Amino acid sequence: MSYKVTEDGDISIVHLDGEIDMDVTEKAKEIIMPLIEAKNEVHLNLKEVQYMDSSGISVLIESHQKANEMGKKVILKDISKSVLKVIMMAKLEQILNLG
Amino acid sequence: MVALRQISEQRDFVVSSASLKDVRSFSREVFEKVNIDQDLKDELVLAIAEAAQNIVKHAYQGEDTDDKMEIKISLNNGELEIGFFDKGRPVDEKNVRHRKIDDVKPGGLGTFFIQQIMDAVVFKEGEKPWINHLILTKKINY
């Protein structure tokens, strides 16, 4: 997994790339969680994520819940077909913010 | 390339989260030889990777080890069987359950995915030298 963070005012945009599995979840959390603390809104751009497993989905849930607790927002953007399929399999399409 | 109707391939992997990408590569290589649609291939790769992840997480509780797990993918007359063999802690089937899907929290989804994708999930005691033997099966139409 690789990533790039860009800023747009009070929004951080994290562009994730590659495969997100158990091996990279800690790294993903280290990237995303401080941004949630620092900004009002974090966008996770998942266009280039070709694979995500249950560990990756856990990172999305954790990010969403942390943002909610802090009165902030995490929005999933440009979700790739394969990631959307896993989100729907987990029945999270109504829970997570899909933008 | 001629699509195969019978397959039996196995490979060993070090029990580690770092091996999961190799598990996926192996699975993709095997399913490339079978004439099934890409969505189903992706689902099967996910189920296999989730089962391998469970071995790392639960049978070995994330501990570093040099132990290997073995994954065997067999297809015969439309019956896909995927076997997982490991030498970790014995799995008590009673403790293998996914969380309630409407109880949204991180974790507990891997087993749910496996059950969604596969027709059957069977835990057996492994024959020596293995401790655990997990069998996932699915009828494949091709």
* CB-based contact B49 A53, cutoff 8 Å: yes
Shortest distance, CA B29 to any CA of chain A (angstroms): 16
Per-residue confidence band for B2, with pLDDT thresholds at 50, 70 and 90:
low
**Domains by residue range for chain A, with CATH:** 2-98 (3.30.750.24)
Flag whether the ipTM exceeds 0.90.
yes
pLDDT for residue B98: 72
Q: What is the DSSP letter of B67?
A: -
Shortest distance, CA A17 to any CA of chain B (angstroms): 15
Does B1 map to a domain?
no
Closest residue on chain B to A52 (Cα): B46
- Paired strand residues for A76: A44, A98
* CB-based contact A61 B105, cutoff 8 Å: yes
Instruction: Name the interface residues of B facing A (CB cutoff 8 Å).
Output: 17-18, 20-21, 24, 39, 42, 45-46, 49-50, 53, 56-57, 101-102, 104-107, 109-110, 112-113, 116
DSSP letter for each residue of chain A: -EEEEEEETTEEEEEEEEEE-GGGHHHHHHHHHHHHHH-SEEEEEEEEEEEE-HHHHHHHHHHHHHHHHTT-EEEEES--HHHHHHHHHTT-TTTSEE-
Question: What's the rounded mean pLDDT across residues B69-90?
Answer: 96
CATH number at residue B111: 3.30.565.10
pLDDT for residue B10: 98
What confidence tens digit (pLDDT) does each residue in B88-100 have?
Answer: 999 887 777 776 7
Q: Name the domain count of chain B.
A: 1
Q: Give the mean pLDDT of chain B.
A: 92
Tell whether the model's pLDDT for residue B142 goes beyond 90: no
Question: What's the domain range around B102?
Answer: 7-139
Give percent of chain B above pLDDT 90: 78
Does B77 map to a domain?
yes
Tell whether the model's pLDDT for residue B52 goes beyond 90: yes
Per-residue confidence band for B105, with pLDDT thresholds at 50, 70 and 90:
confident
Q: Give the mean pLDDT of chain A.
A: 97
Per-residue confidence band for A28, with pLDDT thresholds at 50, 70 and 90:
very high
* CB-based contact A54 B42, cutoff 8 Å: no
Token representation of residue B62: 């994330």
Q: What is the Cα–Cα distance from A4 to A78, expressed in whole angstroms?
A: 15
pLDDT for residue A56: 97
Tell whether the model's pLDDT for residue B106 goes beyond 80: no
What residue spans of B7-104 are helical by DSSP H?
Answer: 20-31, 38-54
Q: What is the Cα–Cα distance from A96 to B30, expressed in whole angstroms?
A: 34
Tell whether the model's pLDDT for residue B69 goes beyond 80: yes
Question: What's the rounded mean pLDDT across residues A76-93?
Answer: 97
Question: What's the rounded mean pLDDT across residues A48-54?
Answer: 98
Shortest distance, CA A76 to any CA of chain B (angstroms): 17
pLDDT for residue B4: 74
Does B60 map to a domain?
yes
Closest residue on chain A to B56 (Cα): A22
- Candidate from A19, A51, A58 with C-beta closest to B106: A58
Question: What's the rounded mean pLDDT across residues A41-61?
Answer: 97
Does B2 map to a domain?
no
Does B54 map to a domain?
yes
